[in-house]
Structure 1
């Protein structure tokens, strides 16, 4: 790299092995103002059929609730992540202490949508409509509930 600056933003524990090896250097943390775990789908029913998405999100909710249970976090989740991804147990436990999942993948908080759009507007990524952002314009109520 020399003296040229190169940077990338990624989740702390995902890049930690590269920091630990000296391959990259941790500069600072920049928390995102939106959740890490959110699913987006194409608005066209031909590309993302609502019934299939509802089914997927319902099943995902079952798995998330089980994975996020206190009993699973005690050891089974640790073993799974350690074995699947090769992270040291201490890092897995530290990560599990910081991460939280939603309990219902079929419910989308309107505040998350609006806050995200406001930040993307401020960054020049999206343009605010004349009437302002409305969360219901960004969800398919055949698939999820706005909460």
Structure 2
């Protein structure tokens, strides 16, 4: 039996995958599924897709679009989280930066080039009318732990990461959040390597049906807020706020959304060309 390898960030957005595995839903459907955590995020997952280490990625929308434009042999098959990702803009607690204006021209910590933290620094710059050429600098820090080290040691000045995952670091007095920057589009999609889709289409359809059945009623799962709080070291009130702001999807991302994202990435020189919808998205 073919093992289907799925990659994603080890964050509360992906709890449905953990529950499906823990409760044996894939196994009962005759599927052999392995989940791979990618704490450093999008750039690591696009690399894993290219190297054939994973078949499926639950990945930031803008990140996988950029990488497919650059030749990643994969397609988006579905939106996973419909609502925007709220990126917190963080500085070291003892830094002198207090506003977004204070970090203009300063060094952004990013997990890697092509990552969400890298791309969203451009979106934040655009939102604040900065000069993309002169007002952005980067320091690669790999992951959240690297960001803590980078900001506290002064290697970088600010760091953008999902607001609720970084909230414990704010509560501990390690980071201060000086602003938010929501993605202007649905934040997570499911992408599949073209070869995997060709060879294991029936298995992938079954996997998607199982996960969609969980996300459809995710908020109604008994004590889901407590489960998330315990698993991801969050305060219950933060989890409840996050749940109120988050909506999953079981639909294919539409052409207008793909066009809007590509236009934005093109305007920021993050991509050098646009692809047709059918080159980025496929129906299964």
Shorter-chain TM-score category?
0.7 to 0.9
Q: 1:111 Cα shift? A: 2.2
CA RMSD of aligned residues (A): 2.3
> Could you tell me how far 1:136 is from its partner in structure 2?
2.0
Secondary structure in 2 matching 1:28: strand
Distance change (3 Å), C-alpha of 1:83 and 1:3 = closer
Matched with 1:76 is 223
Q: 1:20 aligns with which of 171, 181, 184?
A: 171
Match of 2:261 in 1: 116
- Is the aligned partner of 1:36 residue 2:194? no
Work out whether residues 78 and 92 of structure 1, in 8 Å CA contact, stay in contact via their aligned partners in 2. yes
Judged with a 3 Å threshold, the aligned counterparts in structure 2 of structure 1 residues 26 and 115 are, in CA distance, closer, same or farther, namely same
Question: 2:196 aligns to what?
Answer: 45
| Structure 1 residues 67-86: Cα deviation after superposition (integer angstroms, max 9, x where no partner) | 13xx33xx521121122212
Of Structure 1 and Structure 2, the greater strand share is in: 2
Query: Contact conserved, 1:19 with 1:25, CA < 8 A, in 2?
Result: yes
How far apart are 1:127 and its partner, in Å? 2.2
Residues matched between the structures, number: 133
For structure 2, the 5+ residue unaligned runs are 1-151
How many angstroms apart in 2 are the aligned matches of 1:26 and 1:54?
40
Whether 1:87 and 2:240 are equivalent positions in the alignment is no
The CA deviation string for residues 102-129 of structure 1, in whole angstroms up to 9 with x for no partner, is 1x15x22222222222222122222224
Q: TM-score, normalised by structure 2?
A: 0.42
1:95 Cα shift? 0.9
Moved over 6 A (4+): none
Q: Secondary structure at the match of 1:119?
A: helix
Distance 2:202 2:246 in 1: 29
Give the superposition deviation at 1:28. 1.0
Query: Quick one: distance in 1 between partners of 2:163 and 2:153?
Result: 24
Structure 1: any 5+ residue segments left out of the alignment?
none
**CA drift at 1:49:** 3.1
